[in-house]
A and B are shown apart, each in its own frame.
Chain A
């Protein structure tokens, strides 16, 4: 069985290939799988795997079945204990899959006030921070200096930069969606508690703008470096950021209004670059016609 840890103790020349295959299927499930699909794994089952750190023995003590180990991935790592960039993108992808579930629940009218300590909002942000702590210094934005790299250098090392960009886009998309004003505006129609202005509203409106702007910053860098991305997830991330900028196009502040118009146009242009091969992104472009 590909999906059991016990399989990987056996000597086998293709053991790494099996691990990669298992986790590749998981990565597809995170971004494209159906919510509550027939065989999807509940968050509580996978949380110990994704959030456990080296000092945390709880997961190691847990009985079988355990998921397979992560594949060996040393590109860009500075020490043997660093987790590889592809595996890290997978960790953030797990949080993203929980964000998709959160939006699904919101659409079904199931939303616990996000400021509560046991809300999905609080748990997702907690998991995100736990996983952020697993990100070694060698992979961090300020260390790798993507923006200073030459385009040909990025092209030569796509196997590092593609998952690195996926991780960056995923991180900012998680925080953009979790703080998206549309979620709470809709929810406030059936939950009276959400209609009362409080610090959550203020903080979330600052966070959503910050992270949607980061998505545009990443788009600017990718465009400048002429890095062609194929995974439609990037188009999806751009479309989400575009909705935030569209919202702020109605802001009273003329500077914010003007910036939001520019950022919206950038997101849309980036999304259009996926149209030739992704019918889903083509639909998103057509929805974004204002």
Chain B
């Protein structure tokens, strides 16, 4: 799978997902981007679009038809890692996917593994000699969502 053959989603579906995101998820509790920062849909990365669709699909009437976005988002994040093209939006995607899994408590184990590997890769790339105590939420910790 590559970036080119990702299933195309209608722009109306994306606009609706962004509206739902700002209605139900923005600053409650996660706060990644403000509306003006993603107003130009053509500039949002594919993995972030899929992550927003995944998180907000539970509030959409087309919920069942949107189930595949989670897999697509995770695959795209993995591709970013594998290709060494991780951007801020890639980590934002992980944040949204993590919250989505907490709300739905249906996170597959593979996602946790991806995240764990991702965090390790970031650390190796950036500061191989130092593990900061201000670390990201643990990949393992994501498995134990409460309530």
A interface list, Cβ under 8 A from B: 1-4, 14, 17-18, 20-29, 31-35, 37-42, 45, 65-68, 71, 86, 89, 93, 100, 158-159, 162-163, 166, 228-233, 235-236, 239, 277-281, 284
B interface list, Cβ under 8 A from A: 23-33, 37, 58-59, 88, 91-92, 95, 98-99, 102-106, 116, 119, 122, 126-127, 130, 132-147
Minimum C-beta distance from A131 to chain B (A): 17
Task: Judge whether B147 and A236 touch: CB under 8 Å.
Answer: yes
Which residues in B have their C-beta under 8 angstroms from that of A280? 105, 145-147
Which residues in B have their C-beta under 8 angstroms from that of A32? 102, 141-142, 144-146
Q: A1-B132, A236-B147 are in contact. Are A279 and B28 (CB under 8 A)?
A: no
Number of inter-chain CB pairs below 8 Å: 160
Minimum C-beta distance from A154 to chain B (A): 13
Minimum C-beta distance from A97 to chain B (A): 11
Minimum C-beta distance from B41 to chain A (A): 17
Which residues in B have their C-beta under 8 angstroms from that of A279? 104-106
Additional 7 contacts, C-beta under 8 A, given A38-B139, A39-B140? A2-B136, A32-B145, A33-B138, A45-B133, A163-B28, A232-B103, A232-B147
Task: Judge whether B138 and A34 touch: CB under 8 Å.
Answer: yes
Minimum C-beta distance from B116 to chain A (A): 8
Q: CB within 8 A of B30: which of A27, A45, A158?
A: A27
Q: A39-B119, A163-B29, A230-B103 are in contact. Are A28 and B137 (CB under 8 A)?
A: yes
Task: Judge whether A166 and B102 touch: CB under 8 Å.
Answer: no
